Amino acid sequence: MSREFNATRPINTLPVEILLNIFLNLQTIEEPGGQIGWYGVAAVCRHWRDVANSSSCASLWRQMSFTTSSGLISTDIFLTGSGATFLGGWGHSKFITETMNSSLGRKRLLGAQGTELEPSVCDYDNGAPVQCLLERYAPLMEVLEVDCHYVPGHHGDDVDYSERYGEVLLLSIDPRMFARLQCLSLYTAGLKPNPAPLPSLCRLHLSYCICTSMSMEDFFAFVTGCQALEELSLCKFRPADPAFPDVVRGRKDLEKIAPLTPVTPPAALRKLHLHDFAPFTARILQGMSLARSTDLSVTMDGHIRTLDQAYRCKTVPSLYTAFPLNSTHLGVLHGVTAVHVYFGTPTVYRIVARSGEEGHGSVTITADVPAPAAYQSTPQHKARAKYRPNRSKDLIELFGGAPVSDLTIVAPNAEHWKTLTGADWANTLRSLPFLKRLSVIFHPAGDCLLGVGEDDPLMTLITVLGTPPDDEDELCPHLECLTLHSSDVDLGVEIARTARTARIVDCLRIRKARGFPLAQLHILFDPDQGSSDDERERYARVFTPHVDVVDFEDTAVEFETARSI
C-alpha cells in the first residue's frame, strides 16, 4: 500500500487500512537527532485536535468508514478515547506498533487502546467513543479486548500498580447485542453496575481495576450467570466489598470479616486465576464453592507476605483440605517472590515456587494425579492435609506426604541443599513416596557449587538413591527419570567425567537389581551459556548430542558408550 496520503482529505473518510498503516509506520518517521516523531503525522491527523476535546468526539466514530478497500467491514480497529493520544508526544510508538501487530490478522477483534495521559488531556470517563463503536459492531464481535493502559496520577514504567487503581472506563455489555462474544478482556476498565450475564462467554479477564461500581454480589451473579464460562482470570481486580477492609494486617483482621455465602461457579469453569490483591484472593475463593469433582485448576500468585495472610484465613477451609502447605515455609527458599497453586480435587494440586533471580534457590513441585485411595485414608495423610504451624525449614515440612510426582530443585550452593533436605536426603526422599521425576539443577553461583565429600549434595543424593538402609523400604520406588541440568560448562564436564559418572551408573544398576529400574537419565547442559568459544568447543567434544539421554529401560547401558564420547 502506498504511504502517500492526501492531508486535505477529512480523516473521518479515511478507510481503516490507511489509518492502520499510518500508526504501524510511526517508527519509520524520524525527526532530527534520530528521535521517533509523533508530530510527523500531524498533517494527516490534524483533525484529531479539533475533535479530541469537543462534543463531536462520538460523532467522529459514527461517521468514520470502517471498510477495507474491498468493501468488507473490518473489526481490527485501533481505538483510543481521544485523538490527543496520538499527538501527546509521550513516545508510545513502540506500544502502538506492538499492539497493532498483535491485533492485525485476528479477526473479529476490537482493541480499545489508550495511553497514560492525565484525565484533563484524555478523558475516558464518559466512554462515548468506545461505547458507540461497541454498539455498532457488537453483532460481529467474538473477542473484545479493552486496554486503556491508564492509571490515574502515574506515568512511565515505574507505576506502582499495587497502590493506585481506578475505574478508567465503564462499559455496558448488552447480551442481546453481544450474542457472539466469547472472550472479554478488560484492562483498567470495568463493567457498569448490574451487568447482565453473557450466554456465549467462554473467557473473562479483568485486570487492574478497583471496581467500585460493581458490588461483590453483582460480580458473582455475573460470573455464575455466564454458564459457558471456562476461564476466569482476575489480576489486581477487586469488586466493591464494604465488609473487607482496605488494610489487612494479619489473621486476626481476617477473622473479623463477615463470611460470604458461597455461590456455585459455572459447571464449565476449568481455570480460575487470581493474581495479587491477596488476601483479597482468599475472599474471592471464599465466595465460590470449589468443592466439586471437576478438572478445575486454581492459580494464585502474589508476594509471599500477602499470600501467607490469605492461606491463614480460616474462613477459607478449602485451602486447608486441598493444600498442605504453610506458605511461610517458602521463606527459607532464598529470593522466592511468587507462589503458584493449582488444585482441583482435594489431592490434585500443583505448587510452583520461583525466585526472582534466574531461578536460584527455587523449588518446583507438581502433582499430576491424586494419591491412591488407600493412602488417602491413612491417619498420616489426613494429618498432613491440615494446616500446620511453621516448625521446620526443610522439604519434609514443605511437601512431606503430599502426592508429589515431580520435584525440581535449583540450588546455588551446598549450604542451601542442607537447608532444603535437613542434611538428610534419605529422610527427605522417604517423605515423597510418589515421586516419579527428580530434577537437580545447578547454577554457577554461590560460594560452593557442589561441595566436597559429605557436603557434596549430588554425590549424597546418588548414594542414597542407590543404596538405601537395609531395614528400610526402597526410596522413591516409582522414580522413573533423573535429570541433571547445569548452565555452566565447567560444572557439566566435571559431573560427566569424574567419579560422579561411575556412581550414577552404579546407582541405576543397584536399583534395577532390586526391582526398581530407572527409565531415563537426562543430562542437560546448555552450550550457549559458556563464557567463551573455547568452552563451547570443549563442550561439543565432550557431549554429543547437546542433550544427552541415557535409556536404562531394558538393560544397564554403559554411560560412557551412551554418551558417545
pLDDT one-digit tens code per residue, 178-198: 888 888 878 767 788 888 999
Q: Is 520 within the bounds of a domain?
A: no
In terms of Cα–Cα distance, which of 405, 398, 401, 443 is closest to 420? 398
Residues 149 and 278 both lie in one domain: yes
- What's the 3-state SS for 354-382? EECCCCCCEEEEECCCCCCHHHHCCHHHH
Q: Is 53 within the bounds of a domain?
A: yes
Q: Is 527 within the bounds of a domain?
A: no
DSSP-derived 3-state class of residue 286: helix
For the stretch 490-533, pLDDT in tens is: 555 555 555 455 566 677 777 777 777 777 766 655 444 444 45
Span 224-253, average pLDDT: 75
Among residues 322, 344, 365, the one where a domain terminates is 322
Residues 152 and 102 both lie in one domain: no
- What's the 3-state SS for 155-207? CCCCCCCCCCCCCCCEECCCCCCCCCCCEEEEECCEECCCCCCCCCCCEEEEE
Q: Is 42 within the bounds of a domain?
A: yes
Q: Is 413 within the bounds of a domain?
A: no
Record the pTM.
Answer: 0.44
What local confidence, expressed as pLDDT, does residue 328 receive? Answer: 31
Among residues 70, 88, 110, the one where a domain terminates is 110
Residues 106 and 193 both lie in one domain: no
What local confidence, expressed as pLDDT, does residue 193 receive? Answer: 82
Q: Is 421 within the bounds of a domain?
A: no
Percent of the chain with pLDDT over 70: 25
Q: Check: CB of residue 479 under 8 Å from CB of residue 438.
A: yes
156's torsion region: left (phi>0), alpha (psi -120 to 50) or beta?
Answer: left
What is the greatest pairwise CA distance in the chain? 91
Give the range of the structural domain holding residue 257, as residue numbers without chain letter. Answer: 142-322
Q: Which residue has the higher pLDDT, 167 or 349?
A: 167
What local confidence, expressed as pLDDT, does residue 267 receive? Answer: 83
In terms of Cα–Cα distance, which of 185, 282, 265 is closest to 230? 265
Span 308-321, average pLDDT: 31
Q: Which residue has the higher pLDDT, 149 or 263?
A: 263
What local confidence, expressed as pLDDT, does residue 76 receive? Answer: 30
Residues 51 and 199 both lie in one domain: no
Grid coordinates standing for 245?
Answer: 477492609
Residues 151 and 224 both lie in one domain: yes
Q: Which residue has the higher pLDDT, 308 or 173?
A: 173
What local confidence, expressed as pLDDT, does residue 225 receive? Answer: 92
Q: How far apart are CA 118 and CA 109, in angstroms?
A: 27
Among residues 322, 354, 378, the one where a domain terminates is 322
What local confidence, expressed as pLDDT, does residue 77 receive? Answer: 32
Cα radius of gyration (the chain): 29
Residues 38 and 151 both lie in one domain: no
Q: How far apart are CA 204 and CA 176, in angstroms?
A: 18
Q: Which residue has the higher pLDDT, 48 or 493?
A: 493
What local confidence, expressed as pLDDT, does residue 226 receive? Answer: 93
Residues 181 and 225 both lie in one domain: yes
The answer on pLDDT for 162 being more than 60 is no
> Which contiguous run of DSSP H or E holds residue 501?
helix 499-513
Grid coordinates standing for 76?
Answer: 481490527
Span 235-250, average pLDDT: 68
What local confidence, expressed as pLDDT, does residue 53 receive? Answer: 34
Tally the domains of the chain: 2
The answer on pLDDT for 266 being more than 80 is yes
The answer on pLDDT for 63 being more than 80 is no
For the stretch 86-114, pLDDT in tens is: 322 223 333 333 443 443 333 223 333 33
Residues 146 and 104 both lie in one domain: no
What local confidence, expressed as pLDDT, does residue 485 receive? Answer: 64
The answer on pLDDT for 237 being more than 60 is yes
Span 262-282, average pLDDT: 70
Q: How far is C-alpha 228 from the geometric centre of its chain's CA atoms? A: 23
Cβ atoms within 10 A of the Cβ of 312, count? Answer: 21
Q: Is 449 within the bounds of a domain?
A: no
Q: Is 207 within the bounds of a domain?
A: yes
User: How does the average pLDDT of the chain come out, rounded?
Assistant: 52
Residues 217 and 157 both lie in one domain: yes
Bridge partner list, 366: 350, 406
Residues 44 and 159 both lie in one domain: no
Q: How far apart are CA 283 and CA 254, in angstroms?
A: 9
For the stretch 374-403, pLDDT in tens is: 334 444 434 333 323 233 334 555 555 555
Residues 196 and 63 both lie in one domain: no
Banded model confidence at residue 331, pLDDT cuts 50, 70, 90: very low
Q: How far apart are CA 320 and CA 400, in angstroms?
A: 15
